[in-house]
Structure 1
Amino acid sequence: MPNRAENFRLAEFTRLPVEGLLGAAVLVALPRRARVVTAVLGGIVLGALTVLNLADVGFNEYLGRGFNVILDWQLLDDAQSYLADTMGGTVALLAAVGVVALVLVLLALMALAVVRISTVLGRNTARSTRGLLVLSAAWMTCASLGIQVSGVPLASEHTVTTAKDRVDRVRETIRDERAFAKEARADAFGGTPADQLVPDLRGKDIIFTFIESYGRSAIEDPIMAPGVDSTLASSTEALAKAGFHAKSGWLTSATYGGSSWLGHSTTLSGLWIDNQNRYRTVTAGDHLTLTKAFQKTGAWDTVGVMPGVQKGWPESKWYGLDKVYNAFQMGYKGPKFSWSTMPDQYALEAFQRLEHGKKRDKPLMSEIILTSSHQPWGPIPKMVGWDELGNGSVFEGIEKAGNKAADVIADSEKSKEEYGKSIQYSVTSLTQFMERYGTDDTVLVFLGDHQPIARVSGDHASRDVPISIVAKDPKVLDKIADWNWTDGLRPATDAPVWKMNLFRDRFLTAYGSTPHPTKD
C-alpha cells in the first residue's frame, strides 16, 4: 500500500511482494496450531502497518512529511480540536469514533484474512510449496530483469523497506533529541549585555507579525497569484503614499501545511525547530528569542496578540512577552470564521485600542499572530470600515453569507481560490492598519509561518514563505541594504532565500547587536 495519496494507482497494487512469499513459506512449514497463532499475529502486524501507511498519507498531505511514531501521537489530539473548531464538535466526535473503529476493523479483518490464507495453504502443503516455488522464481526473474508495470517494479520489497524506514526514523529521533538539547544550550547572543542588544532600534515600536499559511505559492501559483500579487502591489503603493517603504525576501520554513508554532519558534529563536520534541526542548530552556531580546534590554514593553490561543500558553515567558491577549481577552463578540476566532482586522484594531494606541513611557515590541488565512478558508471575513468594528458583531452577516467549510475543504480548486482571497484579506488588514495607525517610529516585520497544505500549494512544493520589513525611517531599511531584498511587499522570484532559523542572528546583527556566545 502506498503512503502518498498521489501514488494510489492500479500499478501499485499489482506488485508481487517478497514479504508475502516469505510469510506464506513460514505458514506452510508450521503445524496447524502454531500456524493459526502465527497467522493472527502476522495479520495484526500487517494491520498495524496499514494503519501507519494511512497515517503517512494524511501527514504527507497536510504536513508534507511522514508520520513519526514517537513524536506525532499528540498531534492527533490537535487534529480533533481543529475539526471541532472548524466543523463542529459532533463532526469531530464522529471522526474520532470513525478512526478508532477503522483501526480496530483493519486489525481484525487483516488477522482473519491471514488466518484464512493459512488455512488454504495448510490443506495441501505439497501443492502450496510448489506454488510458492513458482511465484518465488517469478519474483527473482522480475527483480533481476527489472520488469515494471507503468513505471512500478513488479517485484516488490515495499513492506520491508517501509518498516526499515520507520525503525531508522525512530533511531534518528532519539539521536536528534540528544543532539538538539546540546545545540539549544549554545547561543551566539545568549550572553550579550542588555545595552548591546538592538541599539539601532531604540525608540522604535517594533511589530513582528505572522500571517497564517502565507507561503510562496500564494505569490507564484497561477490560480492564487493574480489576486495576491495585485493586493501586494496596491498595498505597496498605499503604504508609500503614507510614507512607508518595504523590502522583502524569502525564508524556508521549518514546517509545512500546519504546526505553525514550529515556524514561529524557528524564526524567533534562531534554531531549526521542525518537530514537537525540539519545540518542547527549546521552550523549556532559556535560549534567547528575538522577542525576548527586546524585553531583556528593559527599553521596551512587550506584548503578544494571540487570537488563536484558546487555553493556557506557558510559552509566553520563553518568548519574553510581558502581557498576552488570547482569543477571549480582546472583547470580540462576533462570530467565529471556521477555525479563526476573529477576523484579522478586528484583532489589529483591538491591538490598537488595548496597547498600541496608549501613551506609554517606553516604546512597544509586539508579536501578533493573524489567523484569518487558516484553513479551511471558508468562510472568509471581508474588510469593513475601521470605525464600524465595534465589538465585532458587524461580521455576523458576512460570516453567514460566506462559504461553508465543508464546501471548500474537499475541493482543491475552490480551496486555492479561497486561500488566495484569505491572504489578500490578511495583507490588506495589516497594511491598512499601518496606514491608519503607523507612526514615524513604527517598524513592521511580517512573514508567513509556512506554506498551505499540498492540496493548495501542490505536491512537492517548496517550503518558502515571504518576509517583509516595513518602516518610515529610511535608516531602518538602510541597515539591511546588503541583504539584497526586493523593494516593496512582493519578493522577486530570484530574491535571496534563507533558512528560517538564520533570520534571528542576521536581524540582531543588522541592528547593532554584539554577539556574546554562551556554550554548552
Structure 2
Amino acid sequence: MPVHLPRSTGARRLVSGALTVAAVLLLVVPATLGDPVDETRVSTLVRLPVEPLLLLAVVLALPAGRPRLRTAVAAGLGGVLGLALVFRGLDLGFLRALNRPFDPLIDWRYAGSLVGLLRDSFGPLLGTALLVGAVVAAVAALLLLPLAAVRVAGVAARHRPQAAAVTAVLLAGWLVVVLVGVPGPAGSLATADTLRYVHHEVARVPGQLADLREFEAAARDDPAADVAPEDLVTALRGKDVLVVFVESYGRVALEDPALAPGVDRVLARGTRDLTDAGFDARSAWLTSPTFGALSWLAHATLQSGLWVDSQPRYDAVVTSRRLTLSRLFARAGWRTVAVVPANDRDWPQAEFYDFDHVYDSRNLGYRGPRFGYPTMPDQYTLEALQRLELEPRPRPPVMAEVDLITSHAPWSRVPLLVDQATVGDGSVFDGMPSRLDSATDIWPDPTRIRAAYGHAIEYSLSALVRFLTTYGDDDLVVVVLGDHQPATVVSGDDAGREVPVTLLARDPAVLAAVDPWAWEPGLRPDPEAPVWRMDAFRDRFLTAFGTTPAP
C-alpha cells in the first residue's frame, strides 16, 4: 500500500527520512543478533554487522539503469535476512523446549503436533492466540525486511556516489575491526553471524541427506530378522510384559535439588511397597534420542533398536520392515496392544509396530473430565489396561506399550490419587480439574513450572506403584522408563538426555537374567549406574531373555 506523505515539502522529507531510518534499523538490528540463547540481551545490539553492508555493495554493483533488477535483488536479499530472523527465532524456541536449534529441513513436519499441543495445553483460546501471534510475527519479518531492503537500495541508488563511499568506508572499517579483534559488549564488535548462520543451514543439507540414506540401509539390515519365533524371549514365556513410558521423566527429576527430594520420597516409598508385594527392581539410565518433546522418536528408538532422532528417520523406520519389540513378541505368540491415551484419532504408524489392538482416548471407556493436555489420569489408564486386557481369562500373554501422560507439559491440573477400587469409568474424577492449578496459573512463574513438573512425575510414579501393588503377580514383567528430559525451563540449558529405566518382576529368574547388565537395585538408579543409548535396549533385552540377534 503506498504511503501518502504530507503536501508540505519539509514534512514530506521528515517522513521520508524517518521511513528510511526505520528501514535501515530493520536491516541492521536483526543482523546484530548472536547466539539465540543470548538474543534477549541488549548488549548484542552494540555491534557492526556486515550483512547490510554486503546488501548495499551488491545492489550498488548492479547497472544503474536496471531499477527492476535492483528491486528484485534487494527484495531477495531482504527475504533471506527475514528467513534467517524467523529461523533464529525458531531456534530460540526449540532450544528452550528441545535443547537443540530449529532444523528447517525437518522441523516443519512438527507444525501439526505443535498446534495440537498448544491448544490442548493452554486451551483453545490462549493456544490459538499464541499461534496467531507467532505467525503474525513471522509474516511481519518476511514482509518488512524485503520492503526495508528495497527502500534502502532505492535511496542508495538515488545517491549512488555518497552511498558507495559510505559503504566502502564501513566495509573497510569492519574488516579492520575483524583483523584487529576489537571486542564489543557481547563478543566481537564486528559480526557476520547471520551470514555464517545462513551458510551453515545450507551447507548441512547434503550431510543430512547422506545420513538418511545410511539410516535407511541400517533399517533394512535387521539382525533380529533371522531369529526363529521359537527362540524369541523364551525366558518370558507365559508372562505379561509391559513397557511403560512415563512422559518427560528425565534425569533432572532425580538430581535437581529443587525436584529430587519429592521424587526420591516417592521412589523410596514405592520401592518399599513393591518389595512388600514381592517385586524386585533393577534400574539404570538410557540416553534418549530426543529432548523436551517428540516422544514418538524415543518410542521408535526403544522398539526398533535404531537411533531415531529426527522426523525423517522416524518416517523412514515406520515405513521399513524393521522388527519392533512388539512385532517380535507377536511372532513369539504374545497378544500385543498399545495404550496411547493422548491419541484422539487414528494412528497410521501403529501398523509398523504390529499391535493386535490400539487403545486411545476414544475406546478406553473413560467417562471423566479432561485434565488439560492429558485426556485422562494415569491411574485410569492403568486401570483400563487391567480391565480390558490383563483381567480376562483365559487369554495369551500380553505385551503392551503403555503411555502415562499426566506428566506431559504443561504439568497443570495434576489429578489426586483415588482409591484404586473407585476408579471405575473415571467419573470419580468429576469436578477435580476445576480445583487444580491451570497452565495459565503456573506458566508465568518458572519456579511454579518446575514445582508442577516434579509434582506430575510424583503422581505418575505413584499411580504406577499403586497399580502394581494392587494387581501385580508372578507372571508380570514391567519395563518403566522416561521418554525424554523435560523442556529447558525445567532441565536447564546444559542438561543431558539421560532418562531413568527400571525392570520390575516378582520372578527371581527374570532379575537373574539381567545380572550381567549391572543395573542398580531399586526404583532409583545410582548416579554412577550404567548408561546405555536407548537404541541398545532392544537387542540386549532379546539377548537376556532369548536368542542373541546376529550382529
User: What is the TM-score with the length of structure 2 in the denominator?
Assistant: 0.90
**Aligned residue identity for 1:216:** R
Query: Which residue of structure 1 lines up, in the alignment, with residue 406 of structure 2?
Result: 372
- Structure 1 CA distance, aligned partners of 2:301 and 2:361? 23
Distance 1:247 1:100 in 2: 47
Asked whether 1:282 is paired with 2:317, we answer yes
Task: Please name the residue that 1:98 is paired with.
Answer: 133
Q: Tell whether 2:323 aligns with 1:323.
A: no
2:300 & 2:34 partners in 1: Cα distance? 33
Q: Which amino acid in 2 is paired with 1:460?
A: D
1:147 maps to which residue? 182
More displaced 10-residue stretch of structure 1: 19-28 or 73-82: 19-28
Amino acid paired to 1:434: L
Task: Output one character per residue of 1:55-84: Cα deviation in whole Å (capped at 9) or x when no partner.
Answer: 211222212222222222121111111122
- Give 3-state SS (helix, strand or coil) of 2:84's partner: helix
1:331-346 equivalent positions in 2, closer than 5 A: 331-346=365-380
Within the candidate set 21, 44, 55, 2:53 is matched to 21
C-alpha displacement of 1:264 = 0.5
Q: How far is 1:366 from its partner?
A: 1.2
Contact 1:2 1:8 (C-alpha < 8 Å) held by counterparts: no
SS in 1 for 2:147: helix
Q: Which amino acid aligns with 1:212?
A: E
Name the residue aligned to 1:386. Answer: 420
- Per the TM alignment, residue 516 of structure 1 is displaced from its structure 2 partner at its CA by 4.5
Identify if the C-alpha distance between structure 1 residues 491 and 7 changes in structure 2 by more than 3 Å, giving closer, same or farther: farther
1:195 partner amino acid:
E
Per the TM alignment, residue 464 of structure 1 is displaced from its structure 2 partner at its CA by: 0.4
Query: What one-letter code is carried by the residue in structure 2 that aligns with 1:426?
Result: S
The secondary structure found in structure 1 opposite 2:430 is helix
Q: Distance in 2 between matches of 1:7 and 1:251?
A: 33
Task: Work out the percentage of aligned pairs sharing the same amino acid.
Answer: 42
* d(CA) in 1 for partners of 2:160, 2:73: 16
1:5 equivalent to 2:37? Answer yes
Match of 1:445 among 458, 461, 479: 479
Q: 1:7, CA displacement in angstroms?
A: 4.1
Partner of residue 387 from structure 2, selected from 353, 363, 368: 353
Q: How many Å apart are 1:423 and its aligned residue? A: 0.4
Q: 1:261 aligns with which of 292, 296, 321?
A: 296
Alignment counterpart, residue 433 of structure 1, candidates 457, 467, 473: 467
Residue in 1 aligned with 2:170? 135
Taking structure 1 as reference, are residues 409 and 169 closer, same or farther at Cα in structure 2, changes over 3 Å only?
farther
**Which shows bigger deviation, 64-73 or 207-216?**
64-73
- 1:402-413 alignment, distance < 5 Å: 402-413=436-447
> Which of 422, 427, 434 is the equivalent residue of 2:456?
422
**Paired residues of 1:11 and 1:152 also in contact (CA < 8 A):** no
* Distance in 1 separating the partners of 2:79 and 2:549: 56
Question: Alpha-carbon deviation of 1:123?
Answer: 4.1
Paired residue secondary structure (1:255) = coil
Q: Deviations over 1:437-462 (max 9, x none)?
A: 00011111000000001111100210
2:290–2:309 Cα contact (<8 Å) kept: yes
Equivalent residue, structure 2, for 1:498: 532
Deviates further, 358-367 or 501-510: 358-367
Q: 1:45 to 1:514 in 2, by over 3 A?
A: closer
Aligned residues: 516
- Corresponding position of 2:267: 232
Residue 199 in structure 1 maps to residue 234 in structure 2? yes
Is 1:67 the counterpart of 2:102? The answer is yes
The letter for the 1-side match of 2:260 is A
- Tell me the secondary structure at the aligned position of residue 207 of structure 1: strand
CA contact (8 A) 2:50 2:190 kept: yes
The answer to whether residue 206 in structure 2 is matched with residue 171 in structure 1 is yes
Q: Distance in 2 between matches of 1:330 and 1:432?
A: 19
Q: Distance in 2 between matches of 1:95 and 1:7?
A: 20
Q: Post-superposition shift, 1:219?
A: 0.6
- For residues 256 and 262 of structure 1, do their structure 2 counterparts lie closer, same or farther at Cα, with a shift above 3 Å needed? same
Between the aligned partners of 1:120 and 1:323, the Cα distance in structure 2 is: 67
Unaligned runs of 5+ in 2: 1-32
Matched position secondary structure for 2:225:
coil
Letter of the aligned partner of 1:45 in structure 2? V
* TM-score normalized by the length of structure 1: 0.95
**Among candidates 111, 114, 123, match of residue 149 of structure 2:** 114
Structure 2 vs 1, CA of residues 317 and 115 (structure 1 numbering), >3 Å: closer, same or farther? closer
Q: Partner amino acid for 2:459? A: Y
Match for residue 542 of structure 2 among 484, 508, 519: 508
Q: Would the aligned equivalents of 2:240 and 2:399 in 1 still touch at CA under 8 Å?
A: yes
Q: Would you say the 8 A contact 1:269–1:290 is kept in 2?
A: yes
For residues 546 and 461 of structure 2, the distance between their equivalents in structure 1, rounded to whole angstroms, comes to 29
Which residues of 2 match residues 180-199 of structure 1 at below 5 A? 180-199=215-234
Matched AA of 2:447: E
CA distance in 2, matches of 1:452, 1:465: 10
- Structure 1 position 252 matched with structure 2 position 284: no
- Partner in structure 1 of residue 25 of structure 2: none
Deviations 1:364-387 (A, max 9, x none): 211111100000011111101111
Equivalent AA in structure 2 for residue 57 of structure 1: L
Give me the whole-angstrom Cα distance separating, in 1, the residues matched to 2:463 and 2:266: 11
Displacement of 1:470 after TM fit?
0.7
Partners of 2:243 and 2:194 lie apart in 1 by: 46
Question: Pick from 481, 488, 495: which aligns with 1:454?
Answer: 488
Q: Report the 3-state secondary structure (helix = DSSP H, G, I; strand = E; otherwise coil) of the residue aligned with 1:397.
A: coil
Between the aligned partners of 2:35 and 2:106, the Cα distance in structure 1 is 18
The answer on whether the counterparts of 2:539 and 2:548 sit within 8 Å (CA) in structure 1 is no
Letter paired with 1:368 = V
- Say if 1:4 and 1:61, in contact at 8 Å, map to a contact too: no
Q: Encode CA deviations 1:399-452: one digit per residue, 9 max, x unaligned.
A: 111111122234321111000000000000001111010001111100000000
Using the alignment, how far apart are the partners of 2:301 and 2:34 within structure 1? 32
Note the C-alpha offset of 1:96: 3.7
Give the partner amino acid of 1:188. P
What residue identity is the alignment partner of 1:305? V
User: CA 1:488 to 1:408, structure 2 compared with 1: closer, same or farther past 3 Å?
Assistant: same
8 Å CA contact retained: 1:196, 1:514: no
Gap regions ≥5 residues in structure 1: none
1:51 to 2:83 alignment: no
